[in-house]
Chains A and B, each alone.
Chain A
């Protein structure tokens, strides 16, 4: 404490008036504005950031929603796609990026225009029946994703030589405790830091010296293999990249950030940048796997250890460890956020108290739902002899199947004049939105029919 201020030991008099504080810090120059013809310099006004800072300030929900797609299931699906078909599925990612950006932008717009979550809007616009249907879809889609996250946790620690039967229950208890006791926000950064381990993928992709010509061709020329594995992975890629959970999350995050309808315009950039970055990451995962595994003829990823080999160009014999840390971080992050977000949006539909700062008496429904999700996820992920990568890919496929339902709701809501006002969909967005819906639906129909036909012994497509 500085002693230059009057200490109350003598009466205040001109002589003892406080001198300026010694550490006269650099005071911001302030903004000069004209009020009633008088020019004043105001330092207390927030200066809107300009230049690169301006873009950084806007970035937020989009980036997080985008990277939510690159979780355990995402890595499994991208690795499988890269190993099996090399660069041939890259064009799908390019196509999906456009769809994803459009869908996510509509979700963000819904959030900004109404200040409400998706399930909340469905409840108000379509009534109780439809909203319960949507809740059911979300519960299934997110439920299997949560199982996927715990499978990811198990796979990561097994790579490090620890039994998953020990770590999965432990992780469930720790995550539950952190969230319920409200200290989750503090450890979240640790998980995020761990998940950054996946930044090794782009480096690995470059160090593996892929044939960039082939990469470029794969990204631009649609190459379609007529096999059920291809169509299955196609739906899986759709399902892992455009996930119902992501739309719900994006909308809630925009609401939570407090984006108002009149400032929505600049928020679009956030969504677009987030989605492009996220899909760029996905593409690098495919490239890295294709350039390390596919080229040497290893076309099936059976375990996390196989998938980890894609990081060998950058990490050598530590590839498995690096992969494990990244996977663990990403899975723990999503393992806490997914049950939380699900419990949040479902509570919202019924108007039950929600939020992590509730005790069990007030937030019975919210906390019970959260707890059930964590327990269910952990228990199902411990089924002995579970084929890790296959299970993860199938979870994404299931998400892909449920996606059209949520898309229909979003498209109907975003075209509602009473709800959206000036922010309702333009014709271009409608074309792209309904186009995405058609694409997903056609892919799912083909996939389901080939699987069904395959089950009764008719093979339309090759194995």
Chain B
């Protein structure tokens, strides 16, 4: 292992004995242990120039130097400060990077590289305080890192939300984390980095992650997203979460985004946005699974199968008179559905004794009832008997929990 801070103190020497110093290294971040692709070098009082890694003959660790083919400096100089490539010293060293195994953001206090078979690869990050001491003392004080973080479990972000769509390389191992953990990681990142991370995720995961972020962070990240990406994500979010997000946007932006949503999704979100946010209508979801009472269990399972792709709440199936009027008759749980005989009728096994909520009841009061009921959700019914949606225990807990620990509440239907 060689430290980047050591490499930057090496010197360059070519076949005819010309000397120079390395300034920085370019890297191709696509791989688990990404290879160095070239180096920027400079001779005293001259412009910085680029040398591809292929031109490096060998890395002489004993005499601390790179032996290279030619340092005549005939090629065009590069402007180090505006170079768009990822540079190890300028960009990665000292940056805030994500440690995926420990699920935290850390400082890249030093970088560890590995030389093998002529290639130089980025192997690990040293985030310890020793690395700081070692760098300041030029290697005199401080010992090797006890537990460097393997680069294959490190994600480096550039702070540019549009970067992932421009074909820039990432580790992308973060996509294996659950959305809640990604969201929590993001709270520790500056908002541009968080937005970049959302853009990096596959759409479905990005939408789930957006749903569980704190409202302020969610809005900040969302506004940084490219419009087409933003629309795609809203369409994938649960309608209640989407309505909360759109409700926080400025009116003209909300209008624009609602207009661009796919019709079915727009319908759902607009329905929810008709209610003030501090009422039952403001916290309910309207994506619920329904069956008619006349169906047999076998038919019911078929009907439900077509509906359960998107809703968060699938355990409770609501029984409505017919799918057009949606007049609530009862409720049936998935468990009942599984245990009942195929030829039994829904009306015979359903539970007709339901506590229901009115959409304009204050949210806090209704939420308390949901929590007290110890059920996963209570149905919301309009004055005309129509089933409008349901308030899930997740939404309810967020209402009754004290402000201070709301962000720590785990969500069941997320």
Interface string of A88-101 (1 = CB under 8 A from B): 00000000000000
Using Cβ atoms and an 8 Å threshold, which residues of chain B touch A45? 246-247, 249, 251, 254, 273
Report whether A17 and B385 are in contact in the complex, using a CB–CB cutoff of 8 Å. Answer: yes
A378 to B155, CA, bound (A): 43
Report whether B357 and A115 are in contact in the complex, using a CB–CB cutoff of 8 Å. Answer: no
Report whether A353 and B384 are in contact in the complex, using a CB–CB cutoff of 8 Å. Answer: no
Residues facing B in A5-43 (CB within 8 A) are 5-14, 17-21, 24-25, 27-28, 30-31, 33-36, 40-43
Report whether B190 and A255 are in contact in the complex, using a CB–CB cutoff of 8 Å. Answer: yes
Instruction: Judge whether A426 is part of the interface by a CB distance below 8 angstroms.
Output: no
Instruction: Judge whether B236 is part of the interface by a CB distance below 8 angstroms.
Output: no
Give the distance to chain A from B280, nearest Cβ to Cβ, in Å: 9
- Given contacts A44-B274, A115-B190, whether A123 and B248 have CB atoms under 8 Å apart is no
A107 to B157, CA, bound (A): 23
Report whether B385 and A31 are in contact in the complex, using a CB–CB cutoff of 8 Å. Answer: no
Report whether A260 and B223 are in contact in the complex, using a CB–CB cutoff of 8 Å. Answer: yes
Report whether B361 and A21 are in contact in the complex, using a CB–CB cutoff of 8 Å. Answer: yes
A12 to B192, CA, bound (A): 50
Report whether A132 and B355 are in contact in the complex, using a CB–CB cutoff of 8 Å. Answer: no
- Given contacts A17-B385, A27-B276, A260-B224, whether A115 and B192 have CB atoms under 8 Å apart is yes
Give the distance to chain A from B179, nearest Cβ to Cβ, in Å: 20
Using Cβ atoms and an 8 Å threshold, which residues of chain A touch B38? none
Select one of A18, A28, A116, A129 contacting B381, CB under 8 A. A18
Instruction: Judge whether A265 is part of the interface by a CB distance below 8 angstroms.
Output: no
Report whether B357 and A18 are in contact in the complex, using a CB–CB cutoff of 8 Å. Answer: yes
Instruction: Judge whether A46 is part of the interface by a CB distance below 8 angstroms.
Output: yes
A21 to B362, CA, bound (A): 9
Using Cβ atoms and an 8 Å threshold, which residues of chain A touch B107? 123, 349-351
Report whether A418 and B255 are in contact in the complex, using a CB–CB cutoff of 8 Å. Answer: no
Report whether A44 and B282 are in contact in the complex, using a CB–CB cutoff of 8 Å. Answer: yes
Report whether B259 and A5 are in contact in the complex, using a CB–CB cutoff of 8 Å. Answer: no
Instruction: Judge whether A211 is part of the interface by a CB distance below 8 angstroms.
Output: no
Report whether B190 and A8 are in contact in the complex, using a CB–CB cutoff of 8 Å. Answer: no
Give the distance to chain A from B161, nearest Cβ to Cβ, in Å: 11
Select one of A43, A115, A182, A349 contacting B275, CB under 8 A. A43
Report whether A19 and B136 are in contact in the complex, using a CB–CB cutoff of 8 Å. Answer: no
Residues facing A in B347-391 (CB within 8 A) are 352-358, 360-362, 365, 369, 381, 383-385
User: Nearest A residue to B281 by beta-carbon distance?
Assistant: A44
User: Nearest B residue to A355 by beta-carbon distance?
Assistant: B188
A95 to B100, CA, bound (A): 50
Using Cβ atoms and an 8 Å threshold, which residues of chain A touch B277? 43-44
Report whether B255 and A27 are in contact in the complex, using a CB–CB cutoff of 8 Å. Answer: no
A43 to B278, CA, bound (A): 10
Instruction: Judge whether B76 is part of the interface by a CB distance below 8 angstroms.
Output: no
- Given contacts A9-B353, A35-B258, A351-B96, whether A17 and B381 have CB atoms under 8 Å apart is yes
A44 to B278, CA, bound (A): 9
Report whether A351 and B254 are in contact in the complex, using a CB–CB cutoff of 8 Å. Answer: no
Report whether B355 and A6 are in contact in the complex, using a CB–CB cutoff of 8 Å. Answer: yes
Report whether B358 and A116 are in contact in the complex, using a CB–CB cutoff of 8 Å. Answer: no
Select one of B132, B275, B328, B355 contacting A44, CB under 8 A. B275
Report whether B276 and A28 are in contact in the complex, using a CB–CB cutoff of 8 Å. Answer: yes
Size of chain A's interface in residues, with CB distance under 8 A? Answer: 58
A457 to B392, CA, bound (A): 80
Give the distance to chain A from B97, nearest Cβ to Cβ, in Å: 9
Instruction: Judge whether B81 is part of the interface by a CB distance below 8 angstroms.
Output: yes
Give the distance to chain B from A31, nearest Cβ to Cβ, in Å: 5
- Given contacts A25-B362, A44-B276, whether A19 and B356 have CB atoms under 8 Å apart is no
- Given contacts A11-B330, A12-B329, whether A33 and B381 have CB atoms under 8 Å apart is no
Select one of A6, A44, A131, A417 contacting B356, CB under 8 A. A6
Select one of A14, A17, A30, A46 contacting B248, CB under 8 A. A46
Instruction: Judge whether B211 is part of the interface by a CB distance below 8 angstroms.
Output: no
Using Cβ atoms and an 8 Å threshold, which residues of chain B touch A349? 107
Instruction: Judge whether A47 is part of the interface by a CB distance below 8 angstroms.
Output: yes
Instruction: Judge whether A359 is part of the interface by a CB distance below 8 angstroms.
Output: no
A14 to B352, CA, bound (A): 12
A353 to B258, CA, bound (A): 40
Using Cβ atoms and an 8 Å threshold, which residues of chain B touch A115? 190-193
A14 to B383, CA, bound (A): 9
Report whether A33 and B254 are in contact in the complex, using a CB–CB cutoff of 8 Å. Answer: yes
Instruction: Judge whether B82 is part of the interface by a CB distance below 8 angstroms.
Output: yes
Interface string of A111-138 (1 = CB under 8 A from B): 0001110001001100111011000000
Size of chain B's interface in residues, with CB distance under 8 A? Answer: 69
- Given contacts A18-B357, A115-B190, whether A418 and B383 have CB atoms under 8 Å apart is no
A263 to B224, CA, bound (A): 11
Instruction: Judge whether B129 is part of the interface by a CB distance below 8 angstroms.
Output: yes
- Given contacts A114-B192, A260-B220, whether A47 and B327 have CB atoms under 8 Å apart is no
User: Nearest A residue to B97 by beta-carbon distance?
Assistant: A351
Report whether B136 and A129 are in contact in the complex, using a CB–CB cutoff of 8 Å. Answer: yes
Report whether A418 and B94 are in contact in the complex, using a CB–CB cutoff of 8 Å. Answer: no
User: Nearest B residue to A25 by beta-carbon distance?
Assistant: B362
Using Cβ atoms and an 8 Å threshold, which residues of chain B touch A21? 358, 360-362
- Given contacts A17-B383, A33-B251, A35-B258, whether A11 and B355 have CB atoms under 8 Å apart is no
A349 to B107, CA, bound (A): 8
Report whether A11 and B385 are in contact in the complex, using a CB–CB cutoff of 8 Å. Answer: no
Using Cβ atoms and an 8 Å threshold, which residues of chain B touch A47? 251
Using Cβ atoms and an 8 Å threshold, which residues of chain A touch B381? 12, 17-18
Give the distance to chain A from B404, nearest Cβ to Cβ, in Å: 8
- Given contacts A12-B352, A114-B192, whether A18 and B358 have CB atoms under 8 Å apart is yes
Instruction: Judge whether A454 is part of the interface by a CB distance below 8 angstroms.
Output: no
Instruction: Judge whether B109 is part of the interface by a CB distance below 8 angstroms.
Output: yes
Using Cβ atoms and an 8 Å threshold, which residues of chain B touch A428? none
Report whether A418 and B136 are in contact in the complex, using a CB–CB cutoff of 8 Å. Answer: no
Instruction: Judge whether B243 is part of the interface by a CB distance below 8 angstroms.
Output: yes
Residues facing A in B86-108 (CB within 8 A) are 93-96, 104-107
Instruction: Judge whether A258 is part of the interface by a CB distance below 8 angstroms.
Output: yes
Using Cβ atoms and an 8 Å threshold, which residues of chain A touch B251? 31, 33, 45-48
Report whether A351 and B109 are in contact in the complex, using a CB–CB cutoff of 8 Å. Answer: yes
Interface string of B210-253 (1 = CB under 8 A from A): 00000011011001100000000000000000010011111100
Residues facing A in B389-405 (CB within 8 A) are 404
Using Cβ atoms and an 8 Å threshold, which residues of chain A touch B327? 14
Instruction: Judge whether B184 is part of the interface by a CB distance below 8 angstroms.
Output: no
Instruction: Judge whether B266 is part of the interface by a CB distance below 8 angstroms.
Output: yes
Report whether B219 and A258 are in contact in the complex, using a CB–CB cutoff of 8 Å. Answer: yes
User: Nearest B residue to A47 by beta-carbon distance?
Assistant: B251
Using Cβ atoms and an 8 Å threshold, which residues of chain B touch A25? 362
Report whether B191 and A128 are in contact in the complex, using a CB–CB cutoff of 8 Å. Answer: no
Using Cβ atoms and an 8 Å threshold, which residues of chain B touch A48? 250-251
Using Cβ atoms and an 8 Å threshold, which residues of chain B touch A17? 328, 356, 381, 383-385
Give the distance to chain B from A419, nearest Cβ to Cβ, in Å: 9
Report whether A258 and B356 are in contact in the complex, using a CB–CB cutoff of 8 Å. Answer: no
- Given contacts A21-B358, A44-B247, A260-B224, whether A11 and B190 have CB atoms under 8 Å apart is no
Using Cβ atoms and an 8 Å threshold, which residues of chain A touch B190? 114-116, 255
Instruction: Judge whether B135 is part of the interface by a CB distance below 8 angstroms.
Output: yes
A379 to B272, CA, bound (A): 59
The chain A residues found within 8 Å of chain B, CB to CB, are 1, 5-14, 17-21, 24-25, 27-28, 30-31, 33-36, 40-48, 114-116, 120, 123-124, 127-129, 131-132, 182, 255, 258, 260, 262-263, 349-351, 353, 417-418
Known interface pairs A43-B273, A116-B190, A258-B220; 16 further A-B residue pairs with C-beta atoms within 8 A, sorted by A's residue number: A5-B355, A14-B385, A18-B358, A19-B383, A21-B358, A27-B360, A33-B255, A42-B247, A43-B275, A46-B251, A120-B96, A129-B136, A182-B404, A260-B224, A350-B132, A351-B127
A sample of 16 cross-chain residue pairs with beta-carbon separation below 8 angstroms, ordered by A number, consists of A5-B357, A10-B353, A11-B330, A20-B358, A21-B360, A28-B276, A34-B255, A42-B274, A44-B243, A46-B250, A128-B136, A182-B404, A255-B190, A260-B191, A351-B127, A418-B82
